Amino acid sequence: MGIHSVHKENCQICLQEKPLDQLLPGSLVRGGVLKIIKKEHKDWNPDAYICYSCLNHFRADYVQDMMEKDLGKLDSIEKEVVKSIENNLLLSENLNEEYEKQLTFGDRIADKVADFGGSWKFIIWSLVILSIWIISNTVVLLWKPFDPYPFILLNLVLSMLAALQAPIIMMSQNRQEERDRMRAENDYQVNLKAEMEIRALTEKMDLLLHNEIRRFMEVQKIQMDMLNELRENER
């Protein structure tokens, strides 16, 4: 044991002994979260402590109640938001890394082909090759062209190229749509969690402001009583 022992207290919900840096005084729990706690634990004591894991559990229940009132039955995406609040996890992710991990070798080849097929480099190289092909079969190899006019072999090659390139580009586009869908879902979850957190924080601030105003009025009443007593004593 060290020279300085860590002071510990029991959480009145899970009854586990924990250090004070993992506990919160019950008097600081207010608003809708407090109502849910009192509903499940009739013996709630504001002078005791509650650990942050138990507090996050009740905060998640409170957020879920708010979301169900606004959105109705929650789907899998919205349930993940509630779970992240309960476990105190971040929802924002690096989707590019997650997306790259899921790509197969064929997917990477398809993306490379799609990137090259949609660039000026592809257009320039195509024009160069077509020009060489046509010139070779009309000028250079005038007496024995391997693909005489109307260039049937060239048409066959271009048709095969288009037939292969089109589905590869569609594969890449479909994966891009999947990436956009993942990004949209993640943005929705982050925004929804932020909105719920802000609403809970706003409610807590309103409650604190109300309590401060009430205390101020009580102090002002005491001061008025003291002033009245002083005036009476002067008389």
Tell me: the pLDDT tens digits for 81-122? 777 776 766 666 666 676 777 778 888 888 888 888 888 998
Residues 3 and 67 in one domain: yes
* Residue 137: band (very low, low, confident or very high) from pLDDT cuts 50, 70, 90: confident
Residues 57 and 107 in one domain: no
Q: What is the mean pLDDT of residues 57-63?
A: 81
Q: What is the pTM (predicted TM-score) of this model?
A: 0.49
Residues 105 and 48 in one domain: no
State how far the Cα of 68 lies from the Cα of 49, in Å rounded to an integer: 29
Q: Is residue 155 part of a domain?
A: yes
Q: What is the mean pLDDT of residues 147-164?
A: 88
Between residues 221 and 167, the one the model is more confident about: 167
* Residue 33 three-state SS: helix
53: tokens are 């894991």
Query: Residue 5: is its pLDDT beyond 90?
Result: no
State how far the Cα of 108 lies from the Cα of 175, in Å rounded to an integer: 11
What pLDDT is stored for residue 128 in this prediction?
94
Residues 78 and 131 in one domain: no
Residues 69 and 15 in one domain: yes
Residues 61 and 107 in one domain: no
Task: State the distance between the two ends of the chain, measured CA to CA, in whole angstroms.
Answer: 67
Q: Is residue 12 part of a domain?
A: yes
One-letter amino acid for residue 179 of the chain? R
Other Cβ atoms closer than 10 A to 141: 13
Read off the DSSP letter of residue 13: T
Query: Residue 217: is its pLDDT beyond 50?
Result: yes
Residues 145 and 99 in one domain: yes
Query: pLDDT by residue (tens digit) across 167-197?
Result: 888 888 888 887 888 888 778 777 877 777 7
For every residue of 15-34, DSSP letters joined together read: --EEEGGGEEEGGG--HHHH
Q: Is residue 224 part of a domain?
A: no
* Residue 3: band (very low, low, confident or very high) from pLDDT cuts 50, 70, 90: very low
Q: Is residue 220 part of a domain?
A: no
* Residue 79: band (very low, low, confident or very high) from pLDDT cuts 50, 70, 90: confident
Could you say which of 62, 85, 108 is where a domain stops?
85
State how far the Cα of 173 lies from the Cα of 191, in Å rounded to an integer: 27
Residue 155's domain comprises 95-187
Residues 125 and 169 in one domain: yes
One-letter amino acid for residue 123 of the chain? I
Query: Residue 1: is its pLDDT beyond 50?
Result: no
Q: Is residue 227 part of a domain?
A: no
Residues 22 and 45 in one domain: yes
Residues 151 and 104 in one domain: yes
* Residue 210: band (very low, low, confident or very high) from pLDDT cuts 50, 70, 90: low
* Residue 10: band (very low, low, confident or very high) from pLDDT cuts 50, 70, 90: confident
Residues 160 and 78 in one domain: no
Q: Is residue 23 part of a domain?
A: yes
Whether residue 16 contacts residue 51, with contact meaning beta carbons closer than 8 Å, is answered with: yes
Residues 123 and 158 in one domain: yes
Instruction: Work out the percent of the chain whose per-residue pLDDT is above 90.
Output: 4
Q: Is residue 204 part of a domain?
A: no
Could you say which of 187, 203, 221 is where a domain stops?
187
Q: Is residue 177 part of a domain?
A: yes
Domain count, the chain: 2
Whether residue 116 contacts residue 228, with contact meaning beta carbons closer than 8 Å, is answered with: no
